[in-house]
């Protein structure tokens, strides 16, 4: 890779080459999850700060487990218990964490651009674990790894994303990532949830409010969680959403026979997805979770295992024998 990766703030700013490098680095860590002894000393003595200003369970556990399996320690900041509740500014909280000398900060925040803002003020690497409706880079990386494993490639696929695209950082990161590899997209959901922004980015994006039409010929179907808190702006009855947009076995038949079904979780069975699809052979949901660990281990390894200043004249290919 040409340049050292300093932060991971968005997929948009990465090149296809950098994405490919990160996916390749994740490969050995996928295997590692099957080892009897899941503990490396590679990041021994390093500390990863997990700053989750917005509630999160799976992403936080995934990052914490990734850090722990690499031998790093973690410090935890959780929204409910944080001094944000007491009125401290984001920057003050970040600087306080930084003063405890972690080697990187993994951060989630409900405001788009929050990770970028913190990265501009701190020296240490910042990993964006989701910022508002902007991006969720590690989710897109683990989705790409899952697709590449099952399909052998991520290039030029037909990808259908179903749900609330407008408010979804998962959709945005996936559009940026798979878009860099020439994938074509169909965004599907109630019209008020289908933004026009991606058409302006010159990506191959089609919008459709009819799921039967959107699934036709799909290689990959990404089902988004229905954020029930959003259903009321403007009002859309839940049972109407289920009727119009739930991914059912019958509808999935309209996609290619080997189409993959991805869901970023948490998945609500019987709402956005029929249980028969969620548990079916085309579903990748549990692989996504395992691959999430591999991607996050690779990322932490790439970002903090090596030193920033000194370079070995012989290069990384030469071990010391």
Partner 1 sequence: MFARMRVVEKTQLMSATEIDRTLQRLAHEIVEKSGGTANLALIGIRRRGVPLAQRIARAMHGIEHVEVPVGTLDITLYRDDLSKIASHPVLHSSEIPFPVDDKDVLLVDDVLYTGRTARAAMNGLFDLGRPSRVRMAVLIDRGHRELPIEASFVGRSIQTSSREIVEVRLHETDQEERVMLVERVE
CB 111 within 8 A of CB 128: no
Figure out which of the listed residues 5, 16, 75, 271 binds partner 1, where binding follows CB under 8 A: 5
Candidate list 12, 25, 98, 149; residue touching partner 1; CB under 8 A: 25
Strand partners, 207: 187
Among 1, 201, 268, 286, binds partner 1 (CB under 8 A): 1
Report residue 269 as tokens: 């069975």
227: left (phi over 0), alpha (psi -120 to 50) or beta: beta
Q: For partner 1, which stretch binds (CB under 8 A), given 32-40, 167-175, 215-223, 275-283?
A: 32-40
123 binds partner 1 (CB under 8 A): no
Q: Which is nearer to partner 1, 183 or 300 (CB)?
A: 300
Q: Are 75 and 49 in contact (CB under 8 A)?
A: yes
Check residue 99 for interaction with partner 1 (CB under 8 A): no
Query: Which residues, other chains included, contact 105 with Cβ-Cβ below 8 Å and sequence gap of 6+?
Result: 48, 49, 51, 94, 97, 98, 118, 122, 124, 125, 126, 127
Report the residue number, 32 or 53, with the smaller CB distance to partner 1: 32
**What's the closest the beta carbon of residue 235 comes to partner 1, in angstroms?**
49
Q: The tokens of 253 are what?
A: 């038949």
Whether the link from the prior residue into 171 is cis, omega within 30° of 0, is no
> Does position 85 bind partner 1 by CB under 8 A?
no
- Say if residues 135 and 157 touch (Cβ distance below 8 Å): no
Task: Return the residues of window 275-304 that contact partner 1 according to CB under 8 A.
Answer: 298, 301-302
21 is a site residue for partner 1 (CB under 8 A): yes
Q: CA dihedral defined by 262, 59, 6, 141, rounded to 10 degrees?
A: -10
41 binds partner 1 (CB under 8 A): yes
Residue entry with tokens 């409900």: 110
| 72 within 8 A of 104, measured Cβ to Cβ | no
| Site size with partner 1, rule: CB under 8 A | 37
235 is a contact residue toward partner 1 (CB under 8 A): no
Sign of the CA dihedral with 216 first, then 222, 227, and 228 last = positive
Under rule CB under 8 A, residue 42 binds partner 1: yes
Binding status of residue 27 toward partner 1 by CB under 8 A: yes
Contact 206, 237 (CB under 8 A): no
Nearer to partner 1, 213 or 311 (CB): 311
Smallest gap, in angstroms, from Cβ of residue 3 to partner 1?
9
Beta carbon of residue 70, minimum distance to partner 1 (angstroms, whole number): 8
What is the nearest approach in angstroms of partner 1 to the Cβ of residue 38? 8
The least distance separating partner 1 from the CB of residue 141, rounded to whole angstroms, comes to: 15
Decide if 173 contacts 19 (C-beta within 8 A). Answer: no
Spatial contact of 74 and 64, defined as CB atoms under 8 Å apart: yes
Per this entry, what is the length of the chain? 321
Shortest Cβ 319–partner 1 spacing (Å): 5
Binding segment toward partner 1, per CB under 8 A, in 20-28, 73-81, 152-160, 185-193:
20-28
Binding region for partner 1 (CB under 8 A) out of 38-46, 90-98, 212-220, 244-252: 38-46
**Which positions touch partner 1 (CB under 8 A)?**
1-2, 4-5, 21, 24-25, 27-29, 31, 35-37, 39-42, 298, 301-302, 305-317, 319-321
């Amino acid at each position: 890779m040409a340049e050292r990766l300093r932060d991971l703030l968005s997929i948009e700013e990465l090149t296809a080459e950098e994405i490919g490098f990160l996916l390749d680095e994740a490969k050995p860590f996928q295997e590692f999850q099957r080892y009897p002894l899941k503990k490396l000393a590679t990041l021994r003595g390093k500390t990863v700060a997990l700053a989750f200003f917005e509630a999160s369970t799976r992403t936080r556990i995934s990052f914490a487990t990734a850090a722990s399996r690499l031998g790093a320690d973690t410090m935890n900041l959780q929204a409910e218990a944080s001094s944000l509740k007491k009125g401290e500014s984001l920057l003050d909280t970040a600087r306080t964490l930084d003063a405890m000398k972690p080697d990187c900060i993994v951060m989630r925040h409900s405001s788009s651009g929050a990770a970028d803002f913190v990265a501009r003020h701190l020296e240490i690497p910042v990993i964006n674990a989701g910022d508002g409706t902007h991006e969720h880079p590690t989710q897109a990386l683990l989705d790409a790894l899952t697709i590449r494993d099952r399909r052998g490639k991520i290039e030029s696929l037909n990808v259908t994303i179903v749900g609330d695209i407008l408010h979804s950082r998962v959709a945005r990161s996936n559009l940026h990532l798979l878009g860099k590899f020439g994938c074509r997209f169909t965004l599907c959901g109630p019209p008020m949830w289908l933004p026009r922004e991606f058409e302006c980015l010159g990506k191959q994006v089609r919008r459709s409010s009819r799921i039967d039409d959107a699934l036709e010929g799909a290689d990959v179907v990404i089902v988004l969680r229905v954020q029930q808190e959003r259903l009321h702006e403007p009002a859309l009855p839940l049972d109407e959403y289920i009727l119009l947009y739930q991914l059912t076995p019958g509808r999935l038949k309209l996609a290619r026979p080997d189409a993959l079904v991805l869901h970023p979780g948490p998945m609500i069975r019987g709402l956005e997805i029929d249980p028969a699809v969620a548990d079916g052979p085309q579903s990748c949901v549990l692989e996504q979770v395992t691959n999430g660990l591999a991607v996050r281990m690779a990322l932490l390894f790439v970002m903090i295992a090596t030193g920033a200043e000194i370079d070995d004249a012989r290069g990384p290919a030469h071990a010391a024998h």
